[in-house]
Amino acid sequence: MIKKEKILQSYIYNIVDDEKAEIITIITKEDLSRFIKRLEKTSIENINVEPSVNKDSFNNCDIFFLLDDIKVSETDLGIIKNLLSQKIVIFTDFGDDKKIDSMMLKLGFQTELRDQNIMLKCFSYNLKTYNNKRAWNNPKGWANPENFDKFRW
């Protein structure tokens, strides 16, 4: 196993273990049979490994992983975010670097890992932490009609 695979697999294992995920989906064309045996030691009840993104063949899962051997479109990411999972982890290489970075930023993904030595980047999206509630962003106090004459900006 090469260094890149070890880092990628340990990263996935740590995420699954930390999140206590029960159902995960991994999109890759690689053989992950040895890694799946390692994942079985965690709290996972169901592991789906598919070669491509297809909204019809998946159920909702706790965490959705896309490995770097899969090229994904903006539409595919939208389908995953809206229909398949609230937590998504995407690994990419440095090909089309600016295009991928721009697409990920536009869709609300955060950069988690960027290692040029092994040519691996990781982006993540978690709906629960994406847009945290802010104390000022509510109707109490300033957005009520009774306060319109009291406060001026």
CATH number at residue 129: 3.40.50.150
Residue 131 belongs to a domain: yes
Residue 153 belongs to a domain: no
SS (H, E, C) the chain: CCHHHHHHHHHHHHHHHHHCCCEEEEECCCCCHHHHHHHCCCCCCEEEEECCCCCCCCCCECEEEECCCCCCCHHHHHHHHHHHECEEEEEECCCCHHHHHHHHHHCCCEEEEEECCCCEEEEEEEHHHHCCCCCCCCCCCCCCHHHCCCCCC
What does the CA dihedral 129, 64, 22, 31 come to, rounded to 10 degrees? -150
Question: What pLDDT is recorded for position 90?
Answer: 92
Question: What pLDDT is recorded for position 132?
Answer: 67
Residue 110's domain comprises: 3-147
Domain count, the chain: 1
Residue 152 belongs to a domain: no
Question: What pLDDT is recorded for position 59?
Answer: 74
Percent of the chain whose predicted confidence (pLDDT) is above 90: 9
In the numeric block, the tokens 């319109």 are attached to: 148
Q: Per DSSP, what are the bridge partners of residue 123?
A: 90, 111
Does residue 38 surpass a pLDDT of 90? Answer: no
Residue 37 belongs to a domain: yes
Q: Per DSSP, what are the bridge partners of residue 25?
A: 48, 64
Residue 107 belongs to a domain: yes
Q: What is the pLDDT of residues 55-73, one digit of tens each?
A: 666 678 889 999 988 888 8
25-29, 60-64, 66-70, 139-143: which range is least confident on average?
A: 139-143
Q: What is the pLDDT of residues 80-127, one digit of tens each?
A: 888 888 899 999 887 777 888 888 888 888 888 888 888 888 999 987
The residue count of the chain comes to: 153
Residue 130 belongs to a domain: yes
